[in-house]
């Protein structure tokens, strides 16, 4: 949980994607005509809520029309997801005010809500993770320990709900139709930071190796000793985690975060900067084979300690 900063465009896209995601998960799955009947409006209006905007052949973030807050509430009630309304209300406030180029801080928010809304619609996700195993690669035991440690800092955090969301996120890498292409540059220190201990941590490292067998998943270790990278003169960027997400050929976002705040970057200059930083990690990271060997070496070390 952290302060999150985003623009009205991204806020509109979060609302659109979250509505689509919640509607698809209803049993039996609802159709736009069902939603229209519930709201007592025409189906074309519902389609405007859920369809993306386009300009000059380019897809823009956000729906063609933003529903009223009353309509959002009725849709979430229909979908059985009213528990998300308190957080969604903050996002809706950003979508309603300001210009697309303005950024707004919306207070303490569960970051998993944003990821849940946007990740399934990405074509490619590229991340650098410095402090721990990235969320899309975590086992349940690892994620549970990590989330519950955070509760001591944010008592109002719903740990169980966050864990269930975290465990649902990797589905985008495993789906049969259009799985997300995912690259993770993982700082080697994460292999030694014992969020959990013993065999559960070994299981987490084994899970990394398993994920590396997927054709759409690349995991490369950024070594603590940069001489191991083969590019010792490359610049080692400083700062926290970084994500570059491609939704369409034209729409990319960058996202940076630390323990207190997260920020979406959307302007071409900002996204280009995030891309250049990610390029440095690409230079510094070991090859996939070297990374696999480094993970195996750490597993062997831990297994020897337990014998």
User: What is the per-residue pLDDT across 136-156, written as a single tens digit (0 to 9) for each?
Assistant: 999 999 999 988 876 665 555
Mean pLDDT of 218-239: 75
Retrieve residue 283's tokens: 């230079």
- Bigger pLDDT: 68 or 108? 68
Q: Which of 59, 222, 76, 217 has its CA nearest to residue 137?
A: 217
Q: Do the Cβ atoms of 22 and 106 come closer than 8 Å?
A: no
* pLDDT above 50: residue 112: no
User: What is the per-residue pLDDT across 240-296, written as a single tens digit (0 to 9) for each?
Assistant: 788 998 887 767 888 887 666 667 777 788 888 899 999 989 999 999 999 999 999
> Which domains does the chain carry?
8-107 (1.10.260), 122-307 (3.30.870)
pLDDT for position 1: 46
Taking the C-alpha atoms of residue 219 and residue 190, their distance in angstroms, rounded to an integer, is 13
pLDDT for position 305: 92
Which pTM value belongs to this model? 0.73
Which residue spans within the chain are E strands per DSSP?
2-7, 52-55, 58-63, 103-109, 124-129, 181-187, 217-222, 241-246, 252-257, 261-265
């Amino acid at each position: 949980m952290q302060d999150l900063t985003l623009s009205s465009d991204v806020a509109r896209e979060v609302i659109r994607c979250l509505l689509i995601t919640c509607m698809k998960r209803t049993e039996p799955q609802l159709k736009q005509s069902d939603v229209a009947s519930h709201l007592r409006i025409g189906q074309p209006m519902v389609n405007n809520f859920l369809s993306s905007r386009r300009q000059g052949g380019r897809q823009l973030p956000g729906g063609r029309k933003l529903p009223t807050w009353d309509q959002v509430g009725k849709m979430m009630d229909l979908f059985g997801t009213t528990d998300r309304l308190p957080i969604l209300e903050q996002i809706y406030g950003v979508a309603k005010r300001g210009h697309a180029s303005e950024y707004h801080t919306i207070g303490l928010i569960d970051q998993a809500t944003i990821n849940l809304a946007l990740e399934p619609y990405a074509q490619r996700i590229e991340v650098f993770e410095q402090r721990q195993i990235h969320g899309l690669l975590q086992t349940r035991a690892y994620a549970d320990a990590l989330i519950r440690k955070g509760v001591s800092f944010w008592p109002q955090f719903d740990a169980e709900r966050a864990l269930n969301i975290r465990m649902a996120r990797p589905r985008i890498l495993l789906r049969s139709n259009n799985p997300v292409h995912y690259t993770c540059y993982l700082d080697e220190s994460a292999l030694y930071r014992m969020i959990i201990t013993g065999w559960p941590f070994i299981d987490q490292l084994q899970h990394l190796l398993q994920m590396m067998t997927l054709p759409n998943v690349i995991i490369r270790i950024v070594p603590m000793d940069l001489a191991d990278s083969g590019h010792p003169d490359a610049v080692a960027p400083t700062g926290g985690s970084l994500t570059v997400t491609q939704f369409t050929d034209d729409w990319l976002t960058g996202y940076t975060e630390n323990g207190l705040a997260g920020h979406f970057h959307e302007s071409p200059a900002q996204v280009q900067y995030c891309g250049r930083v990610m390029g440095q990690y690409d230079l510094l990271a070991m090859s996939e084979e070297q990374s696999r060997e480094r993970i195996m070496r750490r597993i062997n070390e831990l297994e020897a300690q337990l014998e």
